[in-house]
C-alpha cells in the first residue's frame, strides 16, 4: 500500500512512544491501527487514515508524506526511532 509497506489493519507506533514510562506504555498510548489511505476530494492529496488504540479511540487523518516522514532530528535529537510512525 505504501513504499514502507504499511497496510490497513497494521498497528504502528508514533515516535513519542519512546518518551513514555512502562506504565504509560501499557495504556497503548501512541499506538494506532491503520485504516487506509484516502484521497482529498479537492486537492487529490493522499491522506493516511488511522485510529488511536487508547483514550477515546479517535480517528485521524494526516498527509501521507508527513505520516511516512522521518523524525526531525533537530527537534528530537534523543529519539531512536527513524520514522514518525513505524510498524509494530
C-alpha cell at 76: 528530537
Which pLDDT tens digit goes with each residue over 29-38?
999 999 999 9
Question: Could you report the per-residue pLDDT of 25-79, keeping only the tens digit for each?
Answer: 999 999 999 999 999 999 999 999 999 999 999 999 999 999 999 999 999 999 9
Give the pLDDT score at 37.
Answer: 96
What is each CA distance from 69 to 24, 27, 34, in whole angstroms? 25, 25, 16
Q: pLDDT band at residue 4, thresholds of 50, 70 and 90?
A: confident
What distances in angstroms separate CA 33 from CA 28, 42, 60, 75, one per listed residue?
Answer: 11, 26, 10, 26
Q: Is the pLDDT of residue 2 over 80?
A: no
What are the structural domain ranges in the chain?
11-87
CATH class of the 11-87 domain in this structure: mainly beta
Amino acid at each position: 500500500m505504501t513504499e514502507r509497506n504499511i497496510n490497513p489493519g497494521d498497528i504502528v507506533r508514533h515516535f513519542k512512544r519512546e518518551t513514555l514510562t512502562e506504565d504509560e506504555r501499557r495504556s497503548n498510548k501512541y499506538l494506532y491501527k491503520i485504516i487506509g489511505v484516502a484521497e482529498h476530494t479537492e486537492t487529490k492529496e493522499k491522506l493516511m487514515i488511522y485510529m488511536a488504540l487508547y483514550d477515546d479511540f479517535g480517528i485521524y487523518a494526516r498527509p501521507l508524506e508527513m505520516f511516512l516522514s522521518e523524525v526531525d532530528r533537530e527537534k528530537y535529537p534523543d529519539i531512536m526511532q527513524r520514522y514518525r510512525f513505524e510498524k509494530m
